Chains A and B, each alone.
Chain A
Amino acid sequence: MRIASTEKTTHPVLIFWIIAGWVGYALLPWYGVEEFWTFDWLSDGWPSEADYAPALGLVLQGLKPWLLPMLPALAAPLLVVTRRKTDPLYARVLIASGAFGFAWLVAQGLGIGLRGFTADWLAAIFGQLDDRQFGMGYGAMITASAFLFLLTQGLAARGLVKGDVFVASAIGGVIAVVTIFVFFPIAKMLMAGFVSDEGGLSVGHFLNRFFDARIWGLGCLTGGTRCGVAWNSLFLAVLVGIITTALGLAFALVLTRSGFRYKRVLRAMTVLPIITPPFVIGLAIILLFGLSGTVTTTVAGVLGIEATRWVYGLPGILIAQVLAFTPIAFLVLIGVVEGVSPSMEEAAQTLRASRWQTFRTVSLPLMRPGLANAFLLGFIESMADFGNPLVLGGNYDVLSTEIFFAIVGAQYDQSRAAILAIVLLFFTLAAFYLQRFWLGRKSYTTVTGKGDAGVHPPMPRGLAIPVYLIVGGWTAFTAVVYGMILYGSVVELWGVRNNLTFKHYITAFRVSWGENGIRWTGSAWDSFWTTIMISTIAAPLTAAVGLITAYLLTRQDFAGKRSFEFGTMLSFAIPGTVIGVAYILAFNVPPIEITGTGLILVISFIFRNMPVGVRAGIASMSQLDKSLDESSLTLGANSWQTFRRVILPLLRPAILAALVYSFVRAMTAISAVIFLVSARYDMATSYIIGRVENNDYGLAIAYSTALIFVMLAAVGLLQLLVGRTRIGRRTAHSTTTGH
Chain B
Amino acid sequence: MNGTRLTASALALATGLTATAAAADGRLSFYCSAQEEWCQIMARSFEEATGINVDMTRKSSGETFAQIQAEASNPKGDIWWGGTGDPHLQAAEEDLTEPYVSPMRDQLHDWAIKQAESAGDKTIGIYSGALGFGYNSDMLAKAGLPAPACWEDLAKPEYKGMVQMANPNSSGTAYTTLATMVQMMGEDGGFDFMKRLHGNINQYTKSGSAPIKAAGQGETLIGIVFMHDSVAQTVAGFPVVTVAPCEGTGYEIGSMSIIKGARNMDNAKKFYDWALSVEAQNLALQVNAFQVMSNKGAEVSDKAPDLSGLKLIDYDFKKYGSSDERKRLLAKWDTDVSTLPQ
Residue interface bits B291-308, CB-to-A below 8 A is 1, else 0: 000000000000000000
Interface residues of A in 279-329 (CB under 8 A from B): 286-287, 290-292, 309, 312
> A114 at interface (Cβ–Cβ under 8 A)?
yes
B37 at the interface (CB under 8 A from A): yes
Q: Which of A311-366 contact B (CB under 8 A)?
A: 312
The answer, yes or no, to whether A602 is at the interface (CB within 8 Å) is yes
- Contact residue among A34, A393, A493, A545 (Cβ-Cβ distance under 8 Å from B19): A34
Mark the stretch among B10-18, B104-112, B115-123, B186-194 that contacts chain A: B10-18
A680 to B53, CA, bound (A): 12
How far apart are the CA atoms of A425 and B217 in the complex, in Å? 36
Q: Which residue of B lies closest to A118 (CB)?
A: B73
Q: Is there an interface contact between B62 and A409, defined as CB atoms closer than 8 Å?
A: yes
Chain A residues lying within 8 Å of B22, measured Cβ to Cβ, are 34-35
B67: Cβ under 8 A from any A Cβ: yes
The answer to whether A291 and B59 touch across the interface, beta carbons within 8 angstroms, is no
What is the bound-complex CA distance between A291 and B219, given in angstroms?
Answer: 5
Q: Does A384 contact B (CB under 8 A)?
A: no
Bound Cα distance from A141 to B12, whole angstroms: 9
Contact A690 B63 (CB under 8 A): no
Smallest CB separation, A212 vs chain B (Å): 10
Among the stretches A164-172, A246-254, A268-276, A433-441, the one at the interface with B is A164-172
Contacting B17 at CB < 8 Å: which of A496, A602, A643?
A602
Contact check, B65 vs A412: say whether CB atoms are below 8 A apart: yes
Those of B322-342 within 8 Å (CB) of chain A: 326-327, 330, 334, 338-342
- The number of chain B residues with a CB under 8 A from chain A is 84
Q: Is the CB of B12 within 8 A of A597?
A: no
* Cα(A313)–Cα(B76), bound, Å: 39
CB neighbours (8 Å) of B233 from chain A are 695
A635 within 8 A of B: no
Tell which of B151-159, B201-209, B273-281, B311-319 binds the partner.
B201-209
- Known contacts: A545-B7, A584-B71, A596-B20. The answer to whether A141 contacts B90 by CB under 8 A is no
CA distance A170 to B340 in the complex (A): 57
Q: Which residue of B lies closest to A678 (CB)?
A: B57
Q: Is the CB of B86 within 8 A of A410?
A: yes
Known A114-B74, A170-B3, A690-B58: A138·B63 in contact at CB below 8 Å: no
Counting CB contacts under 8 A, is A520 at the interface?
no
Whether B20 lies near A541 (C-beta < 8 A) is: no
In the complex, which residue of chain B has the Cβ closest to the Cβ of A497? B237
Known: A602-B14, A679-B56. A408 touches B66 (CB 8 A): yes
Interface of chain B residues 223 through 266 with chain A (CB within 8 A): 232-233, 236-239
Q: List B residues 74-98 near A (Cβ within 8 Å).
A: 74, 76, 86-87, 90
Give Cα distance in the complex from A284 to B233, angstroms.
Answer: 19
A640 to B327, CA, bound (A): 59
Chain B residues contacting A679 (CB-CB under 8 Å) are: 29-30, 54-57
Contact of A599 among B8, B18, B232, B339 (CB under 8 A): B18
Asked whether B200 is an interface residue with its Cβ less than 8 Å from the other chain, the reply is no
A678 with B74: CB separation less than 8 A: no
A90 to chain B, nearest CB (A): 17
B133 proximity list for chain A (CB < 8 A)? none
Number of contact residues on A: which range applies? 35 or more
Q: Is B57 a contact partner of A677 (Cβ separation < 8 A)? A: yes
**B171 touching A695, Cβ below 8 Å:** no
A457, CB-defined interface residue at 8 Å: no
A584, B70: Cβ atoms closer than 8 Å? yes
A397 to B175, CA, bound (A): 19
Q: With A292-B217, A597-B20 given, is the CB distance from A541 to B74 under 8 Å?
A: no
Q: Say yes or no: is B140 at the interface (Cβ < 8 Å to chain A).
A: no
Report the Cα distance A393→B56, complex, angstroms: 31
A393 to B169, CA, bound (A): 16
Q: Residues 35-63 of chain B: 1 if any A CB is under 8 Å from the residue's CB, otherwise 0?
A: 11100000000000000001111111011
* Mask: chain A, 526-559; 1 = CB below 8 Å from B; 0 = not: 0000000110010011001100100000000000
Interface stretch (choices A100-108, A227-235, A585-593, A624-632): A585-593
**B18 A32 Cβ-Cβ under 8 A:** yes
A675 to B261: give the CA distance in the assembly, Å: 21
Q: Which residue of A lies closest to B73 (CB)?
A: A589
- CA–CA, A493 and B233, complex, Å: 12
Known contacts A286-B217, A693-B209; is-contact A408 B16 (Cβ 8 Å): no
- Complex CA gap A291/B174 in Å reads 23
Which B residues are in CB contact (< 8 Å) with A309?
161, 202-203, 219-220
The answer to the question of A395 belonging to the interface, with a C-beta cut-off of 8 Å to chain B, is: yes
CB distance from A175 to the nearest CB of B (A): 12
Which residues of chain A have C-beta atoms less than 8 A from B63's C-beta? 408, 674-675
Q: Are A597 and B219 in contact (CB under 8 A)?
A: no
A679 to B42, CA, bound (A): 14
User: Complex: how many Å from CA A170 to CA B6?
Assistant: 12
**A495 touching B217 by the CB < 8 A rule?**
yes
Interface hub of A142, A412, A585 (most chain B Cβ within 10 A): A412
Is A649 part of the contact surface with B, judged by Cβ < 8 Å? no
Cα A672 to Cα B216 with chains together (Å): 29
B residues in contact with A500, CB < 8 Å: none
CB neighbours (8 Å) of A412 from chain B are 62, 65-66, 69, 87, 90
- B310 close to A (CB within 8 Å): no
- A540 x B62 contact (CB < 8 A): no
Instruction: Give Cα A286–Cα B210 distance, bound, in whole angstroms.
Output: 14
B87 contacts across to A, CB distance below 8 A: 412
Return B222 CB to nearest CB of chain A, in Å.
Answer: 13
On whether the beta carbons of B14 and A541 are closer than 8 Å, the reply is yes
A599:B15 contact, CB within 8 angstroms = yes
Query: Is A390 at the interface (CB under 8 A from chain B)?
Result: yes
Q: What 1/0 mask marks residues of chain A from 67 to 78 whose CB sits below 8 Å from any chain B CB?
A: 000000000000
Q: A138-B12, A596-B21, A602-B17 are in contact. Are A548 and B3 (CB under 8 A)?
A: yes
Cβ contacts under 8 Å, B199 to chain A: none
What string of 1s and 0s marks CB contacts (under 8 Å) between A405-421 and chain B?
Answer: 10111111000000000
Residues of B within 8 A of A680 (CB): 19, 55
CA distance A291 to B67 in the complex (A): 37
Q: Please list 21 pairs of residues, one from A and one from B, whose beta carbons are closer than 8 Å in the complex, sorted by A's number.
A: A36-B15, A141-B15, A145-B8, A214-B334, A225-B339, A286-B217, A291-B219, A309-B203, A390-B206, A393-B206, A412-B90, A492-B237, A496-B238, A596-B20, A598-B17, A598-B18, A603-B14, A678-B57, A679-B57, A694-B37, A695-B232
Q: List residues of chain A with CB under 8 Å of any chain B CB.
A: 13, 16, 32, 34-37, 114-115, 138, 141-142, 145, 149, 165-166, 169-170, 173, 214, 219, 224-225, 286-287, 290-292, 309, 312, 390, 393-395, 401, 405, 407-412, 492-493, 495-497, 533-534, 537, 540-541, 544-545, 548, 581, 584-585, 588-589, 593-599, 602-603, 640, 643, 674-675, 677-682, 687, 690-691, 693-695
A-B pairs, 10 with minimum CB distance:
A598-B17, A292-B218, A679-B55, A409-B170, A405-B170, A408-B62, A690-B36, A584-B70, A597-B18, A35-B19
